[in-house]
Amino acid sequence: MRYRRAAPAALLCLLLVWSALAAQRVVSLAPHATELAYAADMGAVLVAASDWSDYPPAARRLERFASWQGVNIERILALKPDLVLGWRGGNPQRALETLAAFGIPVLTLDPQSIDEMADTLNQLVAYSPHPQQARQAASALKDQQATLEQRYAGGTTLRVFLQFGSRPLFTAGAATLQNQILALCGARNIFADSRVPWPQVSREQVLVRHPQVIVVPGDTTAARQIGDFWRPQLTVPVLALDEDSFTRPGPRILLATQQLCRQLAPIRAALPAKAP
């Protein structure tokens, strides 16, 4: 009986401890960090974000203070944040160090896989006003990943070229989220053997690897332009995916994965079955 009476008090103490740790004013230095913050249900405490932080729609109303030209340190300090969400791969290191030197906690979000995205959301649990929603978002990512792995396992493996731009011609290597997306859909990245994440390749290097499909970020116009770029040497399906969903390391990348898997499925089905 004493335990039952004590339990609510213990729970209240835990809630008070958590509320003291949860962030009250957060700024984001990258679009994908903004998306991850919203996925962790931190929208109510986000006070500013970087340029191109446009998803979800509520993010468009946030004050802007960072762009490709740099980070407005003075404005961030004036906002008095108790947490900065940074991007080590895209933010100037000096800006991150300066903010930390002023005593502002800086949490860098650089997920390179779906597992790391889920881990990032679990990191944000400690800062979110609604930690349970952050946990659920992390769990949902893992569940969606497992579903795709099971649904598209087996069958004929497609050789796919991931194309990012034409002049110069860039692609994605093995150490990228985009490579993992292909694997989930039962496809193989023809440049998965690259030693760097984002190699620049030549037209001849692509042709000699005989891709069966090309995947590009963009819309149907982008797909048509890429098709024209390769003709007449290469005439294969060109699939376009929403650029932000496909390139940002945020939860929407699972939506891009589902779209790509659906588009690749009939192409895989039409190929001869693998020899036993």
pLDDT in tens, 223-264: 999 999 999 999 999 999 999 999 999 999 999 999 999 999
| 11-143 matches 154-270 in fold | yes
Beta bridge partners of 63: 48
Domain at 154-270: CATH code: 3.40.50.1980
pLDDT in tens, 29-80: 999 999 999 999 999 999 999 999 999 999 999 999 988 778 999 999 999 9
For the domain 11-143, what is the CATH superfamily, name and number?
Nitrogenase molybdenum iron protein domain (3.40.50.1980)
**Mean pLDDT rounded to a whole number for the chain:** 90
Q: How many residues does the chain have?
A: 276
**H or E element that contains 27:** strand 26-28
Domain ranges in the chain are 11-143, 154-270
Confidence at 21, pLDDT banded by 50, 70, 90 = low
pTM as predicted: 0.87
Neighbour count for residue 76 (Cβ, 10 Å): 22
Distance CA 255, CA 209 (A): 28
Distance CA 242, CA 80 (A): 35
Question: In Å, how far are 111, 152, 192, 261, 275 from 157, measured between CA atoms?
Answer: 26, 10, 14, 12, 12
Mean pLDDT of 210-223: 96
Confidence at 8, pLDDT banded by 50, 70, 90 = low
Contact 108, 30 (CB under 8 A): no
Q: What 3-state class would DSSP assign to 264?
A: helix
165: left (phi over 0), alpha (psi -120 to 50) or beta: left
User: Residues near 35 by Cβ (< 8 Å), separated by ≥ 6?
Assistant: 53, 55, 56, 59, 248, 250, 251, 252
